[in-house]
Amino acid sequence: MVRTAINLVRLQTPLRAVKTCAECGVVKSVDKFHLHPNCCQGVEPMCKLCRRKKAKTWSASNPGKQAEYAARYRDRHPEYKERENARRRALTEENPGRYSEVSKARYYKNKAEYFARNVIRRGIVKQQTPRWADMKAIAAFYAACPPGYHVDHVIPLRGKTVNGLHVLENLQYLPAHENMRKHNRLTD
Ligand SMILES: [Zn+2]
């Protein structure tokens, strides 16, 4: 409904399809502004570029706020998660391989961070490996992991309530996507 109203406003003002940005003062065509039903010409006073810059400075000076608001939104809209999942699933089906490309790009960009995390991870694994652990059996278990599965610790090495051991008895195969969802939570 709102959109139709905005389109009507645009149709009625074809000669003034430009607007001066209240922030940078540059005259731009109205499609360089975000839509806003209550503002002059149906678009926001500041251009998209300025809006983005403002949002960036805001989130820089309010660390954690954005995540907090997002979490609050998710709490208030339980249907959001399902909708978002469906949207992502559709995107992946439409363009298979895109997400692996995205995560590959992210990996190369944050390589140092990944390495640091791996070092910590290795330390944790070492700490949680008792002297009696059968390393050969563990290695064989990892080697036999079927494609599409991850080796998972039934009791997480760094669980919220208890720390699991890196021993054969605590290992299981889990479909990769389920494992990534599990994090350090104990399921059932
Ligand atoms: Zn601007």
Cα 23 to ligand 1 centre (Å): 5
- Does residue 75 lie in a domain region? no
Compute, in angstroms, the gap from residue 18 CA to the centroid of ligand 1: 12
Average pLDDT of the chain? 86
Residue 160 lies in a domain: yes
- Tell me the CA–centroid distance for residue 35 and ligand 1, in Å: 14
52 C-alpha to ligand 1 centroid (Å): 9
Structural domain containing residue 15: 2-61
Q: Do the domain assignments include residue 74?
A: no
The reply to whether 186 falls in a domain is yes
Whole-prediction pTM: 0.46
* Ligand 1 center to 20 CA (angstroms): 8
**Distance between CA atoms of 88 and 30, rounded to whole angstroms?**
30
- Total domains present in the chain: 2
Q: Which residues surround ligand 1, an ion (CB under 5 A)?
A: 21, 23-24, 47, 50
66 falls within a domain:
no
142-157, pLDDT tens digit by residue? 999 998 889 999 999 9
80-95 pLDDT, tens digit each:
989 999 998 898 888 8
**pLDDT band for position 7 (50/70/90)?**
low
**Within a domain: 92:** no
Predicted confidence band at 188 (pLDDT cuts at 50, 70, 90)?
very low
